[in-house]
Amino acid sequence: MMMRVLGWCTKSAMSALFILGLCQGSAHAFQTNIVAVDGTLCDLTATLVGDAARVTCLIPPGGNPHSYQLKPSDRQTLASAVLVIHNGFGLTPSVRKISASGPVVAVGEIALPGYSGYDPHVWHDPQASADMILAISSELKKALPAESHDGVSRRTSQAVAVFNGLTSWGATQFANLPQNRRVIVTDHRTYSHMADRFGFREIAMLDSHTTGGVLRPSSLNAITKEIKNSEVLVIFKPSWNATKTLKRISKRSGVPISSKPLNGEGVAVGETAVSTAAENICTMVNGQGGQCDQDEAARLANSWSAIR
């Protein structure tokens, strides 16, 4: 399911598509530029905007927000943006270098104003995503013409309803796991917000037992002991290939690495915020011996894609 991204037309294609009215939907869309930086925000923002503006996404699906560096073309885009939206909580350090004509808003920090932890991946809690949608909607109404507000409000209501459904569905998937299987093992702390929402435990091996990611013998022993005591069935890897460190931990603990990765840093390639979230939940639940409700996951993803 292709994510609706409005800012990735090439310059030559944009000119042709403008004539046909297909690239951005209206001439007005070319006059208002909104930038979404990281996490799932490109899809969330584009869904709420509809054809009221152009949404430019700095980090593409599958990109790593932690290491992203601004390009000269990004700076040109930012200079004309009426609004720049990013996750916050230090997810993308290069955001500190952004200079824009409009406000630069950390919607994750608006959604979780009291959070003081160290995991910036707040959108993995679907309810936090719903709150981010409300924050984005509020900022859009400040940046866009009044005639577009009714459409933004309608899409906001639809979007929040989908994420509320995702929250209920996700809770059911984890509740169907035996209590001792409600645990996941990952390399770095990425899913703590989801864990808090759905009542499972995340063992973030390298964050908990190493300094600077260095795996010393004492760290390996501690990780191995914790994994064996946790009764996990698999070690979940990120969307890139398993590292030598992960393979070493797997060999030492006797727990295999999941054949299916988790998408921790944003929307998966060719997917949406909702389908990516549902896929992560199903990967976790199935990996721990459960049976995820794929039909309802598909229905939620289709409801998201149908928002207009």
Indicate the residue type of 111: A
Q: In CATH, which superfamily holds the domain spanning 178-299?
A: Nitrogenase molybdenum iron protein domain (3.40.50.1980)
Question: Domain-by-domain residue ranges, the chain?
Answer: 11-170, 178-299
Closest CA relative to residue 2, chosen from 265, 260, 268: 268
Q: How far apart are CA 220 and CA 225, in angstroms?
A: 9
pLDDT recorded at residue 213:
63
Q: How far apart are CA 261 and CA 276, in angstroms?
A: 11
Strands across the sheet containing 83-86: 54-57, 33-36, 83-86, 104-106
Q: pLDDT truncated to tens, each residue of the chain (308 aa)?
A: 333 444 433 333 333 333 233 334 344 445 799 999 998 999 999 999 999 999 999 999 999 999 999 999 999 999 999 999 999 999 999 999 999 989 999 999 999 999 999 999 999 999 999 999 999 999 999 999 999 999 999 999 999 999 999 999 999 999 999 999 999 999 999 999 999 999 999 999 988 887 766 778 888 999 999 999 998 999 999 988 888 999 999 999 999 999 999 999 999 999 999 999 999 999 999 999 999 999 999 999 999 999 99
- The structure's pTM equals 0.89
pLDDT at 242: 84
Intrachain domains 11-170 and 178-299 with the same fold: yes
Q: Was domain 11-170 assigned CATH 3.40.50.720? A: no
pLDDT of 113 reads 97
pLDDT at residue number 239: 86
Chain-centre distance for alpha carbon 236: 17
Alpha-carbon gap, residue 104 to 95, rounded angstroms? 9
For 149, other C-beta atoms within 10 Å of its C-beta total 14
The one-letter code for the residue type at 237 is: K
Backbone angles phi, psi at 100, to 5 degrees: -135, 160
Question: What is the C-alpha to C-alpha distance for residues 3 and 213, in angstroms, rounded to an integer?
Answer: 33
